[in-house]
Amino acid sequence: MKKSVLTLLGIACGGFAAFSQSVGPSTLNAAGGSAVVAGNTYEWSVGEMTVVSTFESAGLVVTQGVLQPAATPTTGINEHTISSAMMQVYPNPASNVLNIQPNFGREGKLSYQLQDVTGRTMLDGEEAIASGKSLVQLSLNNLVSGSYLLQVSVKTGKDTYRNVYKVQKL
């Protein structure tokens, strides 16, 4: 749809050259270009404006300014969200003990951090987990009743799995 509108606009205006970033959101420049040097993509525009104006409508932002690259992870670590099949946190609400039960096909390291609503860390730690189902139990005896956030990450090889769970302490 975007290409057909630009093509139609170009034909109606007598033809023009337009360059756009290769990452979203895209910018349309009257002059500029893109080149790949040593595996890196460099994009530029000519005649940047000193006054920046932005016009917005549903699904479209038109602005002037410098091209901004999108951050791409270069660490080689694959991050994933923990699904309900990979992890169970129960009982919720909890009285004295909170169970974290990971179920991964490989052994790894589980890290957790329990924070109160102000962001203070109340509990944290790391546990080695075996392949298959494991069980990590957190004692909630020293905590007051209220809402907490449990941040959990599991590292297995180069893969890291993360999720945040809302936990209620009775």
H or E element in which residue 6 lies: helix 2-12
**Do residues 49 and 63 touch, judged by C-beta distance below 8 A?**
no
Measured distance CA(53)–CA(119) in Å, rounded = 38
What tokens does 106 get? 């490989």
pTM flag (> 0.75): no
Work out the average pLDDT over 38-63: 66
The pairing of strands 32-37 and 40-45 is antiparallel
The β-bridge partners of 150 are 114, 165
Work out the average pLDDT over 98-103: 94
**In terms of pLDDT, which residue wins out, 33 or 25?**
33
The number of helices, as runs of H, and strands, as runs of E, in the chain is 1, 15
Helix (H, G, I), strand (E, B) or coil at 156: strand
Return the pLDDT at 77: 59
- Residue 13: C-alpha distances to residues 16, 17, 79 (Å): 8, 11, 46
- What residue ranges define each of the domains in the chain, with the CATH number in brackets? 2-63 (no CATH), 78-169 (2.60.40.3080)
Return the pLDDT at 82: 86
Q: What is the pLDDT of residues 54-74, one digit of tens each?
A: 667 776 666 665 555 555 555
Return the pLDDT at 142: 93
